[in-house]
Each structure stands twice: as structure tokens, then as C-alpha cells.
Amino acid sequence: MTQQFTDRQGRAVVLEEITEDNWRDVADVAPADEQRRYVAALAARYLLLSQRGEVWTSLGVRAGDDVVGHVMWAYDDEDGTHWIGGMVVSAAEQGKGVGRATLGAVIERLSALPECREIRLSYHPDNTSASRLYTSFGFQPTGDFEDQEIVVALPGS
């Protein structure tokens, strides 16, 4: 059963495929200035990684009628894990629960895949808000690092 994820304002937060109608809005998503040391300055970078790298799949994040973020996922066929990356929430939407709702929605989407045995992501050690968010969902450190970021894992379905 699909759970509905909402932000603190009660808006439904949904993941949507990147289309001709929404890609520009997703590309323009920019985080708060203080977060630019942890994520790209614009979600456009992640859209290009998805389009050109053939590893990541980008999704737009919509809260109510507005595109408010970006998240991407990938499957690592070497170890059978799914990865979450490139999660960016618009600066104007920070502190409204959009990131929490987005993470819940992407975990639900990946966990529903029959081959999902573990979900991983990584974050910068100084990003304490990300650490709190991921820990609250049950992610645990693996002991590994990816590009100097802490790798955490959540058991899949």
C-alpha cells in the first residue's frame, strides 16, 4: 500500500518522473547557500548526471502544485544495493518537512522493488542535519566512505 507523504504544511509531497513539462523547474531547484558545500548549487547538475551517466535516475519532487526538489537513485549491480543521491530541496522550502517527506517517498519506492535488499546513501560528515534525518529513518553507518562521505545503509524489503 502506498503511503502519502506530506510536509509540515500538509501539502502532499510526491516524486515524479522528469518530463518535458517539468525538467526546467527541477533543474532550477537551488538549495540554501549554506548547503552548497554538501550539494550542487543547482539540481541541473544532477539531471545531467542522470542523463549522461546512465547510472542515476532523477526524479522531481513536488509539494502541492510546486516543484520543490530533486532526488535521484541508482542500482549497483556489483553488490545489489540501491543508492539515493542528489537530494536537493529548494531554499524557500527548507525547514518545512519536504526533505523528510521526500526521503520517505523514495525509500518506499525503492523498497517496493523486488530486488531491493538494501538502500544506501552518503553524506558529508559535517552535515549534521542530514545525519539526524537519515538516522531517524533507521540508516546505519556501514564503515565505508564514498568521496569522503559517510556511507549509511537501510535494509530493504
- Output the tens digit of pLDDT for each of the chain's 157 residues: 567 899 999 999 999 999 999 999 999 999 999 999 999 999 999 999 999 988 999 999 999 999 999 999 999 988 889 999 999 999 999 999 999 999 999 999 999 998 899 999 999 999 999 999 999 999 999 999 998 999 999 976 5
Predicted pLDDT of residue 115: 87
Predicted pLDDT of residue 155: 79
**pTM of the shown model:** 0.93
- Cα–Cα distance, 35 to 32 (Å, whole number): 5
Name which of 129, 130, 127, 124 is nearest 150 in CA terms.
124
Q: Which residues pair with 61 in a beta bridge?
A: 15, 69
Indicate left, alpha or beta for 134 from its phi (over 0: left) and psi (-120 to 50: alpha).
alpha
Predicted pLDDT of residue 2: 63
